[in-house]
A and B are shown apart, each in its own frame.
Chain A
């Protein structure tokens, strides 16, 4: 088994730069209604991700998208034999994740609430200022 198992260079449908909230509406609603939002709050933190194949990856979370695909940087990848590998960049498919360790200093509920507030802010950005809306609302 190849220890350097960076799981494929799939094109990321989500954000490109350091944007906090995803631009796609579909992804936004998916994250808003699921626990992925907690993982999105982890962006920037150093965590351990336990994979389905019994290997673990410890590194800084760059990005998590709606399908739980995680991008890590400065990763220490330990395969199930215990062999360690250092990787600069690692992309993990959502389906391959078993656990994500959450840092002790993070409050779970507060993180979820702050992430929800960010999405809420982005969604309601234009409505009060009379800006362009994403979907034209039909007035009765």
Chain B
């Protein structure tokens, strides 16, 4: 009985091989046609196979004598699925994956390539994570320093200042004293920052010394108009003095005053006139000045410097202005 079962199992296992099986089957069939019924019955692959006869006959030709024998179909199934251990579906999968280990999986390779850092194949740089072995130079973040921040201000007042830097527009910077205007710096801005600190070149500074005491108390707010008018007046008066009396003290001021008087005069004219009030104030001051001029020349000038803040002009090639002292920046029209 067992043998019959075995042979029946063998016949099942050889289902796929039935095609080649049929050819050797046909050969002995053709060969021994005398005992064709017997041969047929003994032939495992034929239709007329008689298992009982095959079990008890001495000469049965097995097509594959050296095949593995199983006790039942389940065993055979288990053998098919793999070998050691129970053939559970998860085990089967595991074994399959292990078997495929050396085999190239294209999808997996593509995935890994994307994760790699310094790979020239990868298209986008953003996809890179730092899981790569070599660290990239920190150029992913845009560099931010004072120079790069200058053009970023476009659209804001600082952007307008940047335009002055770019186009090398001459600029007038109003500089403050603790209360009001100190003076005006005219020059080109080379660099600036958000605090309005300015680096300027070719600067002509026109400023007034601060007043003290009573003059300070009565001081009328200084405007640019008044500043330049005062400067021009001051210089013309000094020039006149130097021509007449040639004073010993403060020689540097007078030639300076005379030389720049022309330029200042032009500037004074070009400025938009203030209200008549300011002019009145100026004339008042002039009256005072002339009064003082009547006195002795030496002491007079000293008194002037003490009572009335004198307006000075100087040229500085390269200047740095702290932003806190800037009142406003006035680009000059070309």
Contact = CB atoms under 8 A, between A and B. Distances in A.
A101 B318 contact: yes
B133 to A, nearest CB: 12
A33 B324 CA distance: 17
B210 A33 contact: no
Given A33-B149, A37-B146, A38-B191, A99 B318 contact: no
B88 to A, nearest CB: 38
Interface string A7-37: 0000000000000000000000000111111
A113 interface: yes
Counting contact residues on chain B (CB < 8 A from A), the size range is 20 to 34
A122 interface: no
B246 interface: no
Given A35-B195, A54-B210, A112-B146, A106 B318 contact: yes
Contacts of A80: 210
Contacts of B317: 102, 104
A108 B318 contact: yes
Contacts of A104: 317-318
A83 to B, nearest CB: 14
A39 B320 contact: yes
A124 B191 contact: no
Given A104-B317, A140-B130, A68 B322 contact: yes
A80 B210 CA distance: 10
B197 A35 contact: yes
A104 B210 CA distance: 28
A133 B175 CA distance: 44
B145 A33 contact: yes
B201 interface: yes
A52 B325 contact: yes
A72 to B, nearest CB: 15
A35 B146 contact: yes
Contacts of B131: 139-140
Interface residues of A, number: 34
Contacts of A102: 199, 317-320
Contact of B194 (A32, A34, A99, A116): A34
B319 A112 contact: no
Contacts of B137: 128
A110 to B, nearest CB: 11
A26 to B, nearest CB: 15
B190 A99 contact: no
B227 to A, nearest CB: 16
B232 to A, nearest CB: 23
A100 interface: yes
A95 interface: yes
B199 A98 contact: no
Interface string A66-108: 0010000000000010000000000000110111111110101
Given A38-B191, A52-B178, A116-B145, 8 more contacts: A33-B193, A99-B325, A100-B320, A101-B320, A102-B320, A104-B318, A128-B135, A140-B131
List 7 tightest A-B contacts by C-beta distance, closest first: A102-B318, A35-B197, A100-B320, A139-B130, A35-B193, A34-B193, A108-B190
Interface of B: 129-131, 135, 137-138, 144-147, 149, 175, 178, 190-195, 197-199, 201, 209-210, 316-322, 324-325
Interface of A: 32-39, 52, 54, 68, 80, 94-95, 97-104, 106, 108-109, 112-113, 116, 124, 127-128, 137, 139-140
